[in-house]
Amino acid sequence: MDFYDKDLVSIRDLDRDQIDCIMDLSEKMIPYARGEKVKKALDGKVLGNLFFEPSTRTKLSFESAAGRLGCNVIDVSEMSMTSMSKGETLADTIKMVDAYCDVIVLRHPHEGAARLAAKFSENPVINAGDGAGSHPTQTLLDLFTMRSAKGSLDGLNVVLVGDLKYGRTVHSLAEALTMFGAKLTFVAPESLQMPSDTFSHIVERGCKPAKTPALEDVIGQADVLYVTRIQKERFPDPAEYQKVAGMYRIDNAILREAKSDMIVMHPLPRVDEISPEVDSTPHAKYFEQAFNGVPVRMALLCAILGGDIDG
Amino acid sequence: MDNLKIVETKIPPIRNGTVIDHIANGQSLNVLKILGVSENNIDSVISIGMHVPSSKTNGWKDVIKVEDRELDHATVGKIALIAPDATISIIRDYYTAEKFRVKLDDRILGLAKCSNPNCITNRGEPVTPEFIVEERNPPKLRCVYCDRILTQISDNLL
């Protein structure tokens, strides 16, 4: 499967075989991601880590992934620290950074920014989240977490709960799961349900998702409960946020209705969607999910930059 | 009196040029905008029939006749964005020399802007909005950059 020198802007850029290939490579990366084995497969390469929006996990895990493989990192963490604060366009910034590195990782507040960057960059671009748009590396690590916990991605019953409208991780994830014949249920108040564009796309791919505001009605059948934060920063109107904040809270009481092997995932950060008491149960997979960002991003960097972990 | 005869009287046949017929009712001015035809770049007569009875659909349509100018397939293809049922007739010496239906290309570049205000193409970057044509009638366009579906095309023409 040839990923060499390719951009990764949207999960739609990948087919099932390519996703399986990244999953297999991620599996091999785990001992290297933990530091149990060392291989500088990307020695001498430079990664440009451009984060124009706040991020903890994505930014750090890309840095960790690059570091484990011996790849150097140059980074920007704030727009105010760049010439973009002086009015420079993203296109010009990308052309400049492109000359300094071998791969660009970009997070940006505007949808379509990664596609634009890919157009102006000679080197490959990896989308690390563009506004409310795509976040394909998060999707890959989510799929990897599900596959690791459940053994396979085929035919899983996945319940997505919380902010399905503005939460970009759930859009890409739901689309990707359709490739694996998942049964999807979207749990959210009507005002935060899956956008019609995304919903139609999922239906076009042969999936018939169910929608409900009532988590207690569907949690019993779930293999995976994917919880998202209701994101205050994405609401234009604070009053709208107040109406829906705190609607869903996962605690041990509601988990009594769930299958014993159901897993709870969350892209993090959480605020109060998941009670800390859940952390010590076998259901909790969100910290493992956060760790999986490292092996999955190592796999991607190796595949795109031509690093060979076996050589 | 037959409505069609009144129309023919108001928009007389042209000797040479292009007739764009079966334009969706109310869209003729947008069609001229898409074709880039304005008083500044054309020296011949343009006749516009708005809210004209259509014998084909038993409803209403718009018609445009551009004298002394033959619009090529690529140019008129663009008008399928807002008039997917339109037909084009090339008139030479009062006779129809060519007649065809409009057809959208697979990609649309620079004719409309993305309806997503947060799309990077609406933020002052040096890029031309670009769309993939997912459906032709009615047209459904997907922004190449942010993946948003553009359906209200006439509201977003550049």
pLDDT tens digits, B61-87: 999 999 998 887 767 777 888 888 899
CATH at B120? 2.30.30.20
Of A261, A307, A291, the residue nearest A144 (C-alpha): A291
pLDDT band at A224 (very low <50, low <70, confident <90, very high): very high
Q: Do A90 and B120 touch (CB under 8 A)?
A: yes
The pLDDT assigned to A74 comes to 96
Query: Which of B116, B145, B149 is closest, CB to CB, to A116?
Result: B145
Nearest to A89 among B126, B144, B149 (CB): B126
pLDDT of residue A302: 97
Same domain, residue pair B64 and B18: yes
- Is B88 in the same domain as B137? no
**pLDDT score of A80 more than 80:** no
* Domain identity same for B51 and B14: yes
* Together in a domain, B97 and B135: no
Distance between CA B63 and CA B87 in Å, rounded?
Answer: 10
Is B94 in the same domain as B114? no
Whether residue B63 sits in one domain with residue B131: no
Query: Which residue, B101, B133, B148, sits at the end of a domain?
Result: B101
Inter-CA distances, A69 with A66, A183, B67, Å: 5, 37, 68
- Claim to verify: residue B66 and residue B94 sit in the same structural domain: yes
pLDDT band, very low/low/confident/very high, at B117 (cuts 50, 70, 90): very high
Q: Which residues in chain A are closer than 8 Å to B114, comparing Cβ atoms?
A: 112
Note whether B86 and B152 are same-domain residues: no
Highest mean pLDDT: which range of A61-70, A82-91, A196-205, B76-85: A61-70
Q: Do B117 and B94 fall into the same domain?
A: no
Q: Which of B101, B131, B148 is the last residue of a domain?
A: B101
Mean of all residue pLDDT scores within chain A: 92
Q: What is the average pLDDT across A47-51?
A: 96
Does residue B94 share a domain with residue B24?
Answer: yes
Q: B116 contacts in A (CB within 8 Å)?
A: 111
Number of domains observed in the structure of chain B? 2
| pLDDT of B40 strictly over 60 | yes
Q: Tell me the pLDDT band of A283, cut-offs 50, 70 and 90.
A: very high
Output the pLDDT for position B54. 85
| B20 and B97 co-located in one domain | yes
**Looking at per-residue confidence, does A240 or B105 come out higher?**
B105
Chain A positions in Cβ-Cβ contact with residue B148 (cut-off 8 Å): 111, 197
Report, in angstroms and rounded to the nearest whole number, the Rg of chain B calculated over CA atoms: 17
Q: What is the pLDDT of residue B9?
A: 55
**Phi, psi at residue A293, to the nearest 5°?**
-60, -30
Question: How much is the ipTM here?
Answer: 0.87
Evaluate the CA torsion angle A55, A61, A67, A72 in order and state its sign: negative
Residue A1: per-residue pLDDT? 62
Question: Measured between beta carbons, which residues in chain B are less than 8 angstroms from residue A111?
Answer: 116, 118-120, 145-148
pLDDT at A72: 97
pLDDT at A29 over 80: yes
Beta bridge partners of B47: B65
pLDDT score of B7 more than 60: no
Per-residue pLDDT, averaged over A286-307, amounts to 96
| pLDDT score recorded for residue B10 | 65
pLDDT confidence of residue A66: 98
The pTM of the whole model exceeds 0.95: no
Highest mean pLDDT among A48-62, A112-126, B84-98: A112-126
User: What is the percentage of chain A residues whose pLDDT exceeds 90?
Assistant: 76
Looking at the structure, do residues B94 and B125 belong to the same domain, yes or no?
A: no
Return the CATH number at B31. 3.30.70.140
Please report the pLDDT score of residue B4 as a whole number.
53
The answer to whether the CB atoms of A115 and B146 lie below 8 A apart is yes
HEC string of chain B?
CCHHHHHHHHCCCCCCEEEEEEEECCCHHHHHHHHCCCCCCCCCCEEEEEEEECCCCCCEEEEEEEECCCCCHHHHHHHHHCCCCCEEEEEECCEEEEEEECCCCCEEECCECCCCCCEHHHCCCCCCCEEEEEEECCEEEEECCCCCEECCHHHHEC
Judge whether residue A152 has pLDDT over 70: yes
Across A231-235, B50-54, B57-61, B143-147, least confident range: A231-235
- The pLDDT-based confidence of B5 (bands split at 50, 70, 90) is low
Domain limits for position B21: 3-101
Judge whether residue B1 has pLDDT over 60.
no
Q: Tell me which residue in B119, B124, B126 faces A112 most closely, judged by beta carbons.
A: B119
Domains of chain A: 11-134+291-305 (3.40.50.1370), 136-285 (3.40.50.1370)
Distance from CA of B102 to the nearest CA of A (A): 27
Last residue of a domain, one of B101, B118, B137: B101
Q: Return the residue matching tokens 């604070």.
A: A238
